[in-house]
Amino acid sequence: MLKGKKILLGITGSIAAYKSVFLVRLLVKAGAEVKVIMTEGAKDFVTPLTFATLSKNKVLSDLFDGDTWANHVMLGRWADAMIVAPASCNTIAKMANGTCDNLLLAIYLSSQAPVLIAPAMDEDMWHHPSTQKNVGTLQQNGNIFLPVNKGELASGLTGKGRMAEPEEIVKYLKGFFEKKNDLNGKIALVTAGPTYEAIDPVRFISNHSSGKMGVAIAEELYKRGAEVQLVLGPSTLLTNKGIKIKKVVSADEMYKACMKDLQSYDIIIMAAAVADYAPKTISPQKIKKKSEEFSLELKKTKDILFETGKRKSSGQTLVGFALETNNEKENAIKKLRHKKADLIVLNSTNDEGAGFGLDTNRITIFDKKGKEYKFPTKTKEEVAEDIVNTVIQYRNE
């Protein structure tokens, strides 16, 4: 799986740099071509000669080498993947903020390749809100973090912060390349977020959806090689640069965006929390408070999932969501049949760790052939992976 893969390995100033010596050996042994970039800080821990010998490539460190300029743009384009291991707290902060004061950062900023980050630092630094904020920013920008291990740290303390072992990084990378191609050539549509239904120029009806689940699904589909069109309701979430985003506000706008080119999609996942009702008329002026009581007349919005189910052709896989408070399974299956979806993802408000705005979710998926897939509480990224895996399995059956 790693044979012939071009890997850029960024090494930063951390004692864990010694582990990257083994990482280079394992990558080269697996058939990858490795180019190492070191920060100045990294050279205090391991010499460039060690990495140059093992990778059989010149180690790169400087934006300028004598009178030649290191072409960071071409290096970024050369790679199939970039790994930063170990990633120090300082480098993570600089990556998150777009700082460009060394070759590693210049390559990171110009790279089109997926970026994997293996952090290494003291536990308190890892847990610091600033570091966690930087990690969140980098994840939102589409970077992949390898989990830090628990154990003895350079400070002498025991805790979280150890860099993933070289064997773990190689295993992850193999899985990543294997997985990456399984939706190659496929086109996917994802809806996400809430919708805003205007009452007057300053007020609207909406719900608490953050869009996190749908965005995580769009990112997972993209990681697996699909071309992704995300139709996103009002949300502040950022996403991967490769995903096409159409921002919409109302249910009607979302409906129109989805119906456009509907037949071109292979996979359609509707995770948006679309408002079911919208004001019948939108007041052109701000409504003034006059009477003690005030009623709004609402009309049903177009059910996008239902309309898609009506139009869908046999090669298309349609996935809906059902958020239920009672008779969960029965209601979800009813929804699956009524909306002519292939699969329905059930969230129950009764499950701890599931719901709007949270970083975790707990789902059960039902398919139209009668199969049921139950999953434990997981992060929304992991749930997205489960959903995409189930869709692929369903399509292959």
Strands 158-162 and 149-152: antiparallel
d(CA 245, CA 191): 10
Closest to ligand CTP by CB, 88 vs 364, is 364
Closest to ligand CTP by CB, 150 vs 337, is 337
Tell me how far, at minimum, the Cβ of 300 lies from ligand CTP, in Å: 8
Burial state string for 303-328 with b = 16 or more CB within 10 A and e = fewer than 16: bbbeebbeebeeebbbbbbbbbeeeb
The yes or no reply on residue 321 touching ligand CTP (CB under 6 A) is yes
Q: Which residues pair with 9 in a beta bridge?
A: 36, 83
The yes or no reply on residue 161 touching ligand CTP (CB under 6 A) is no
Interacting positions 256-285 with ligand CTP (CB under 6 A): 270, 272, 274, 276
Closest to ligand CTP by CB, 161 vs 309, is 309
From 36-44, 126-134, 290-298, 316-324, give the range in contact with ligand CTP by CB under 6 A: 316-324
d(CA 287, CA 201): 9
Type of residue found at 195: T
Which ranges in 79-200 belong to alpha helices (H)?
89-97, 103-110, 123-127, 129-140, 166-180
The answer to whether the CB of 358 falls within 8 A of the CB of 345 is no
> Which one is catalytic: 57, 90, 141, 207?
207
d(CA 130, CA 321): 35
Closest to ligand CTP by CB, 183 vs 323, is 323
Type of residue found at 242: G
Query: Is 71 labeled as catalytic in the residue annotation?
Result: no
The yes or no reply on residue 323 touching ligand CTP (CB under 6 A) is yes
d(CA 15, CA 9): 16
Tell me how far, at minimum, the Cβ of 199 lies from ligand CTP, in Å: 18
d(CA 132, CA 93): 10
The yes or no reply on residue 102 touching ligand CTP (CB under 6 A) is no
Tell me how far, at minimum, the Cβ of 397 lies from ligand CTP, in Å: 22
The answer to whether the CB of 394 falls within 8 A of the CB of 343 is yes
From 41-49, 99-107, 205-213, 320-328, give the range in contact with ligand CTP by CB under 6 A: 320-328
DSSP strands (E only) in 209-304: 227-232, 244-247, 267-270, 277-279, 298-300
# residues near ligand CTP by CB under 6 A: 15
The yes or no reply on residue 189 touching ligand CTP (CB under 6 A) is no
Closest to ligand CTP by CB, 11 vs 275, is 275
Nearest to 235 by CA among 244, 226, 243, 247: 247
Which residues contact residue 175 at a Cβ distance below 8 angstroms, ignoring those fewer than 6 apart? none
Cβ-closest position to ligand CTP: 304
Closest to ligand CTP by CB, 197 vs 385, is 197
Interacting positions 217-256 with ligand CTP (CB under 6 A): 251
The yes or no reply on residue 37 touching ligand CTP (CB under 6 A) is no
Question: What x/- string results for residues 283 through 312 when contact with ligand CTP is judged by CB under 6 A?
Answer: ------------------x-xxx-------
Tell me how far, at minimum, the Cβ of 340 lies from ligand CTP, in Å: 12
The yes or no reply on residue 332 touching ligand CTP (CB under 6 A) is no
Contact footprint for ligand CTP (CB under 6 A)? 191, 251, 270, 272, 274, 276, 301, 303-305, 320-323, 335
Catalytic residues: 207
